[in-house]
Amino acid sequence: MRIDFHTHVFPDRIAARAVEKLEAAGDIRALSDGTAAGLAASMAAAGIDISVTLPVATAGRQVISINDGALEQVRTFSGRGLLPFGAMHPEFGDYRAELKRLARGGVRGIKLHPDYQGVFFDDPRILRIVDAANEQGLVVVTHAGADIGFPPPAHCTPERVLALLRAVRPDKLVLAHMGGWQMWDEAGEALAGTGVYVDTAFVLAPHAHRDGRPVDMLSPERFTALVRAFGADRVLFGTDSPWSDQCGTVRRIEACGLTEAERRAVFQDNAARLLGL
C-alpha cells in the first residue's frame, strides 16, 4: 500500500480557475487538473491506494462549508481513494466546537497554512487551535518553511515551530515539505528529535521554477540524510499533487537509497498509524 499524505483537489466548477491562479502566483505548472477525477487517475498510474486531500481556508467564513464537504466525503470513504481532512482558520470563532464536530464525524485531521492565513505559527490563535485539535485526537498538517507563491517572511519557520512546541505538545503535528521548504538545514537541526512528523511534499520536484530559474530542491543525498535525521518513523510520503507528479515522486524516493524498512515506513506504515487505518 502507498498513502499520499499531502494532495490538493478543488471543486470541479472552480478547479481550472484555481489551478491557473496558483500557477501564476508560484510560477509553476500543475501536473494534474486539480480535480478529484484527475487525482484518482494519477493515483492509479502511480500505484497509490489513498490520497489525503488537504483544504486551505483563507477566511474564517469558509471553514463550515469546507468541513461540511469533508464530513460528507468521509461518510463514503471505503478504505481506498480520497480521504479528506478538514479546515480551520485562526479567525474562526467557535473552533473547539468545530474541531469536535470533525472528530465525531470521522474526519482525521485538519490543514493550516500560515502564509495563506496571514498568521505566524506561534501566534496564540494557532496555539489554541493546535492544542484543541490535539485534545480531539486530530492530526494537524501545516505548511512549513517558505512558499513558492509568497514573498518573505515565511510564517512557519523552524524557530516558530519550536516556540509552539514549548507552549503545547501536540501528538500528531505534521510539518509539510520536510519540516520547512527551503529551510531544510535549519529544520533538521532544530526539529529532529522533537516528535514532529514531516512529509515529503514538493521537495524532490525537478520542474519547479521561479522567475525563469530552477528552484533549489533536495538532492537524493540531502533527502536521505534528512529522513534519517528525523527518523524514518516520522516521515510521511506526500507529493503536493497537482504541483508534483505522483509517479515521479514515487520513483525519486525509491531511488534515494533508503532501506526497504525505511521505504515501507515512509510510504505506508507511518500514515496508516496516524490515520488509524
Tens digit of each residue's pLDDT (9 = 90 or more) over 255-268: 999 999 999 999 99
Residue 210 has pLDDT above 80, yes or no: no
Residue 60 has pLDDT above 70, yes or no: yes
Mean pLDDT of 108-116: 98
Confidence of residue 214 (pLDDT cuts 50, 70, 90): low
Which pairing describes strands 213-214 and 209-210: parallel, antiparallel, or unpaired?
A: antiparallel
Percent of the chain with pLDDT over 70: 97
Tens digit of each residue's pLDDT (9 = 90 or more) over 164-176: 999 999 999 999 9
CATH fold label, 3-275: TIM Barrel (3.20.20)
Strand order in the sheet with 197-199: 86-87, 109-112, 139-142, 173-175, 197-199, 235-236
Per mean pLDDT, which range of 44-53, 148-157, 207-216, 234-243 is the poorest? Answer: 207-216
Residue 12 has pLDDT above 90, yes or no: no
Confidence of residue 78 (pLDDT cuts 50, 70, 90): confident
**Domain assignments of the chain as residue spans, ordered by start:** 3-275
What SS3 string covers the chain?
CCEEEEECCCCCCCHHHHHHHHHHHHCCCCCCCCCHHHHHHHHHHHCCCEEEECCCCCCHHHHHHHHHHHHHHHHCCCCCEEEECEECCCCCCCHHHHHHHHHHCCCCEEEECHHHHCCCCCCHHHHHHHHHHHHCCCEEEECCECCCCCCCCCCCCHHHHHHHHHHCCCCCEEECCCCCECCHHHHHHHHCCCCCEEECCCCCCCCCEECCEECCCCCHHHHHHHHHHHCHHHEECCCCECCCCHHHHHHHHHCCCCCHHHHHHHHHHHHHHHHCC
**pLDDT score at 68:** 97
